[in-house]
Structure 1
Amino acid sequence: MSDPLEWETLDESVAYSCPGFDVIHEEVRLPDGTETEFDYAREPPAAVILPFTPEGEVVLIEEWRHAVKRVNRGLPAGSMEPDEDMETAARRELAEETGYEADRVENLTTAEPANGLLDVVHHYFVAHDCEPTAEKDLDFNESIRVTTADWDALLEEVQSGEIRDGRTALGVLRYALST
């Protein structure tokens, strides 16, 4: 039996497609019978990595984010490839964006960061004993600088609002609550 809050999709089409996501247009029927339209972004699942060096530093990236017109400081992350398992995606994204490789990777949590606007699911991982042993392999549209931060300082930056990236805030706070 369906939930009485569930919307019925009458028709679906891709309104716009670009590298990284599609905009989906749906005609829907609301629970009260009203017919209307709804648009959202469809993205592949993503891996978000909280990488620790053997010394306990956190590996971060600084990346230009054009939508907010500033450099964003946060955790490495990226979309999973088709038929790729989550841990493989986490290890690949960590190496591609930072040049670091992890000795051990463990699942932290899974979240839907903005499920009113997009259907993406983020799978969070903690990467342990990360060393800069790989070649970075950035996508054509990635402008990234790699940095490290002390864990306590990073946690303070998230708590104070200095770090505004939602993926990073969620990963750092979730890890802080689990330790």
Structure 2
Amino acid sequence: MSRVGLRFFQNSRAAFRNAQSPFRRFGARFQSSDAAAEQQSTFQRLWNSPVGVKTVHFWAPVMKWALVIAGISDLSRPAEKLSLTQNGALTATGAIWTRWCMIITPKNYLLAAVNFFLGCVGVVQVGRIYNYRKSLEGSSTEAAKDMEKEVVDSAKNVAANAEAAVEKKSA
């Protein structure tokens, strides 16, 4: 870190330590019972939080929004160019991780939100693929069977590749 940056950091720390809480003027009923939290500014509480800015619990969801944005931008693509396996994986990821975010400690609502929207984008895209294939074949059962066959074949290919890699590694 440069000397200028270090001096800026040291000078700004004092300003954050001395910052007054906006709720102090309303009396004791809004104040925390924890003396350490009472003396910390909002920035310090965010910084030192178990899901704060200096943890992966903050940055992972921030970066994952790129997947949601990419999925939303794919809404303009024609349905025949969309990948069923990719969008199925996004749907499953969104559903599984949204639930998991409510189980883990600390609860990560930012991650739950991004995963919820990721699942929603995946469901919309899978629905678009289904409707497109239904319009080609004329019946919904044929479209569902075609999609099922594609997913099963893809899973079998992945399993075969994994088995081949294990065999190659053990030989």
Same fold per superposition (TM over 0.5): no
Structure with higher RCO (Cα < 8 A, 6+ apart)? 1
The structure with more strand, counted as a fraction of residues: 1
The structure with more helix, counted as a fraction of residues: 2
Return the TM-score normalized by structure 2.
0.26
Return the TM-score normalized by structure 1.
0.25
Q: Which of 1 and 2 has greater Rg?
A: 2
